[in-house]
Amino acid sequence: MLSDVTTPQDLDERFRTAVAVMDVAATRRSTDQPVRDGTVLTGQSALGLFDAQLTSRHLDLAKRWLRSFGEGFYTVGSSGHEGNAALAAALRLTDPALLHYRSGGFYCARLAQAVRRSVGAGGTDGLGGTGTAEPDGEAAEPGPDPVTDAARHMLRGAVASAADPITGGRSKVIGDMALNIIPTSGTAGGHLPRAVGLALGMERMTRLAAVARPRQPGLARSPAGGRPYLEPRSPWPDDAIVVCTFGDASINHASAVAAFNTAGWADHAGLTAPVLFVCEDNGLGISVPSPEGWVTAALRSRPWLHYLSADGCDLAETYDVAGEAAAWVREHRRPAVLHLSTVRLMGHSSTDVESAYRSVEQVERDVARDPLVSTARLLIAAGLTTADEVIARYDEVGWQVRKVAEEVIGEPKIETAAQVVATTAPKRPIRVARVVTDSGARAAGAAAATRAATLGTRLPEERGPMTLAQTINAVLADALLTYPAMTVFGADVAAKGGLYGVTAGLSERFGPNRVFDTTCDGTSIIGLSLGAGLAGQLPVPEIQQLTYLHSAEEQLRGEAAALQFLSRGGYRNPMVLRLPGLAYQDSLGGHSDNDNSLAVLRDIPGLVIAVPARAEDAAGLLRSCLASAAVDGSVCVFVEPIASYDLRDLHTADDGQWLAPYTPPGQWGTGHVPVGRSRNYLVDSGADLTVITFGNGVRMSLRVAARLAREGVGTRVVDLRWLAPLPVADIVREATATGRVLIVDETRRSGGVGEGVLAALVEAGYVGSAARIAALDSFIPLGPAAHQVLVGEDAITQGARALLAG
């Protein structure tokens, strides 16, 4: 039976049987000598790594034991991949690591390194310095026993204990702030773009720090002790490298392809990207085998990626080649990929039935390459231990792990919804307001001369009324002065000034370290932003059009928004993603240019979504997004209505009512727009009808309200401004004021913003009448036909009159 060779019990017995017959070495090597000829791995290091491998294996066995009686959850183990312990030993503790779910050996080995350093130095010697916020608990510092420590950490995650030091019981991931291991979502290849972004971000932060001005007094410090955003300083040493592990099936994922391409593109362009990709190739993507030779061919063919390979089941070979790879990346500051051949033992996961897709012979071949057996043979052949001693140590580690497993069963779990969402930003609106106010005061006072020298003798507040696009440009310029670690980037944002000219002139004023062009791939742009935020920057990326976001949305959902959730708020990737979009672009056409769907963004937990309708609101909204990112680590999406970029008039030609003067710095605080607060317009008395809208709908609704006013109808026009979080209290208050609500929604009827507004009214007990006008469930066609599916002023007028008549 195939199941007879894949159970934890059988794997345990096979290890004992294989070790028991190993011959005692004729000669004994000392522990400070290489464990065998031709390697640099010493006996002492090999013994320590074997302990890490044993711990990882017993953690897999303990997790399955816990699950067998309902105390554990779905588990993906590391059995067969324990050779990655040697990878950890070849790196430094200060090298940030983004690991895939079979990296238990790596974690155990790095924890043991931290224990040795702590014991030797009387402390953690700078470990734990990469957290960028105040987590909802203390980061776990290494204890005196790496086996017990690793078991307690990993098994707390397995049973969803609230004491889990990385997620606080929210998930089970491999991560540890004290060890510089950044948790990942587990989406295949999803963490690779972040790894590339972090490598590029660390190098950029080094350059920014070299030219940074001293921290300015009077400017609010960030919640990370003032380090990120306001002071360009990387959390990691200048010579650190990024390591990123993943499975062989992940190389086919779009996110991984984007990451490889961006790393190679950056290297070809002369940028420094010190990232070490590590493919742990067990030949299977769950049940689908990788075609013979495909992984090697695919990794070797990546341009500008230095390729190395090793037998991941051979501890000494893995250690030697991993050390060579790490040294090459560290010296050259260039990307490399290490291809490790591994095996997968006990199936893909705790619920996997291997017999459905693998033969006995295939499983037997993998079991014969068990890395624990291989390391035991290496140590015994060197005379460093005996078969009896190996089995005794195996049993001792197993007893320690099982003891911890029994202890964590009774630990408290998360008990309230408030505990679950405690790490979801935004959280500190008063601090956000203070950052806006203090930065304005600084720009009007001590920094006024610098501002004038950088922005020109004619400051934006002296230029007269401005359009939406001009206002956004001016706010970005002021923000680059306010936040010395802020960067603006995306396809065409530098030399061209953006597809629509919104970032024009910023690169010339602030230089290529602050404002720069990237590839036009949305996945890579967001990945660069994820890494830049971890490196200490305040990234403001731009994706050229809303349409281009959809292929990259997983980077927002699975990586950006999830990081605080997966790390108790300890790690953050703040960003303000500028996203030109929405419809009504008569000069352009078709569904690609006129994308009016925001549904993909609205259900991402913690995401902040702002939509400015006009220049007068754009400055306050954008400053709030930037401050929220700096203070709370928020992931913000700033959706810019392209059709409104250059609008000047509201009611009649040349009335200039859609323009607005730029707010001088001294008034930024008084003009602050809190996250989640709407803007309300009273047209005439405002007593008869409430129109709730946003974006392009605001101008159309105000025009309709003016016509209704001539008929004696008073209208309240509510500009939501924030689509997440929705200004629910404002919605309910303004709806109740008239008892008649018309929702004007330029997104599609199904999945549109209007659905959320209606739901908010119903849940609040609103008892008046309500109607909704939304775009049709259609792609937007080319030319005048677009107006057949979009909301127009005539439809708004008819909807208003129907409500009034009813």
Residue 330's pLDDT is what?
97
Closest CA to 559 of 244, 300, 331, 776: 244
pLDDT tens per residue across span 683-737: 998 899 999 999 999 999 999 999 999 999 999 999 999 999 999 999 999 999 9
The length of the chain is 806
Mean pLDDT of all residues in 425-443: 89
Other beta carbons within 10 Å of 122: 8
Confidence of residue 228 (pLDDT cuts 50, 70, 90): very low
Residue 118's pLDDT is what?
66
pTM higher than 0.85:
yes
| CA neighbours closer than 13 Å in the CB half-sphere of residue 50 | 25
Closest CA to 393 of 776, 799, 19: 19
SS3 551: helix
DSSP states along 621-643: HHHHHHHHHHHH--EEEEEEEGG
- Tokens in use for 514? 């602050």
Distant-in-sequence, close-in-space partners of 392: CB < 8 Å, separation ≥ 6: none
Which stretches within 238-301 are classed as H helix? Answer: 254-268, 294-300
Report the distance separating Cα 57 and Cα 373, nearest Å: 12
pLDDT tens per residue across span 530-583: 999 999 999 999 999 998 898 899 999 989 999 998 888 889 999 999 999 998
Does the pLDDT value for residue 589 go beyond 80?
A: no
Q: Which helix (H) or strand (E) holds 340?
A: strand 336-341
Residue 229's pLDDT is what?
52
Which stretches within 483-545 are classed as H helix? Answer: 506-510, 522-534
DSSP states along 558-581: IIITTHHHHTTTSS---EEEEEEE
Report the distance separating Cα 236 and Cα 274, nearest Å: 13
Report the distance separating Cα 325 and Cα 310, nearest Å: 11
Residue 83's pLDDT is what?
95
Q: Which residue has the higher pLDDT, 67 or 105?
A: 105
Percent of the chain, pLDDT > 90? 68
Other beta carbons within 10 Å of 129: 15
How much is the mean pLDDT over the chain? 89
Does the pLDDT value for residue 421 go beyond 80?
A: yes
Report the distance separating Cα 321 and Cα 312, nearest Å: 10
- Tokens in use for 138? 């203390």
Do the beta carbons of residue 773 and residue 749 sit within 8 Å?
A: no
The bridge status of strand 679-683 relative to strand 715-719 is antiparallel
Report the distance separating Cα 291 and Cα 289, nearest Å: 6
Do the beta carbons of residue 280 and residue 133 sit within 8 Å?
A: no
DSSP states along 366-409: HHTT-HHHHHHHHHHHTTS--HHHHHHHHHHHHHHHHHHHHHHT
Report the distance separating Cα 776 and Cα 721, nearest Å: 22
Residue 133's pLDDT is what?
43
Secondary structure letter of residue 141 according to DSSP = P
Report the distance separating Cα 400 and Cα 398, nearest Å: 5
Q: Which helix (H) or strand (E) holds 245?
A: strand 242-247
Residue 11's pLDDT is what?
86
- Angle value at C-alpha 462, between 458 and 466, nearest 5 degrees: 110
Q: Phi, psi (5° rounding) for residue 152?
A: -65, -40
Q: Which residue has the higher pLDDT, 483 or 76?
A: 483
Report the distance separating Cα 50 and Cα 65, nearest Å: 22
Do the beta carbons of residue 424 and residue 441 sit within 8 Å?
A: no
Residue 127's pLDDT is what?
31
Closest CA to 200 of 267, 100, 133, 258: 267
- Tokens in use for 646? 């250059």
Report the distance separating Cα 736 and Cα 182, nearest Å: 47
Residue 588's pLDDT is what?
66
- Tokens in use for 13? 């017995």
Do the beta carbons of residue 260 and residue 277 sit within 8 Å?
A: yes
217 cis-preceded (ω within 30 degrees of 0): no
| CA neighbours closer than 13 Å in the CB half-sphere of residue 222 | 31
The bridge status of strand 336-341 relative to strand 306-311 is parallel
Report the distance separating Cα 364 and Cα 368, nearest Å: 6
Does the pLDDT value for residue 401 go beyond 90?
A: yes
Q: Phi, psi (5° rounding) for residue 524?
A: -70, -35
Does the pLDDT value for residue 377 go beyond 70?
A: yes
Do the beta carbons of residue 319 and residue 36 sit within 8 Å?
A: no
Residue 289's pLDDT is what?
84
Q: Phi, psi (5° rounding) for residue 83?
A: -60, -15
Report the distance separating Cα 381 and Cα 171, nearest Å: 41
For the chain, the distance separating the N- and C-terminal CA atoms, rounded to the nearest angstrom, is 74
Mean pLDDT of all residues in 638-659: 96
Other beta carbons within 10 Å of 646: 13
Which stretches within 217-275 are classed as H helix? Answer: 254-268
Closest CA to 230 of 258, 209, 256, 251: 209
pLDDT tens per residue across span 611-626: 999 999 999 999 999 9
State how far the alpha carbon of 228 is from the alpha carbons of 126, 216, 575, 705, in Å: 17, 14, 12, 46
Does the pLDDT value for residue 483 go beyond 80?
A: yes
DSSP states along 658-707: T-BPPPPGGGTTTT---TT--EEEEETT--SEEEEE-THHHHHHHHHHHH
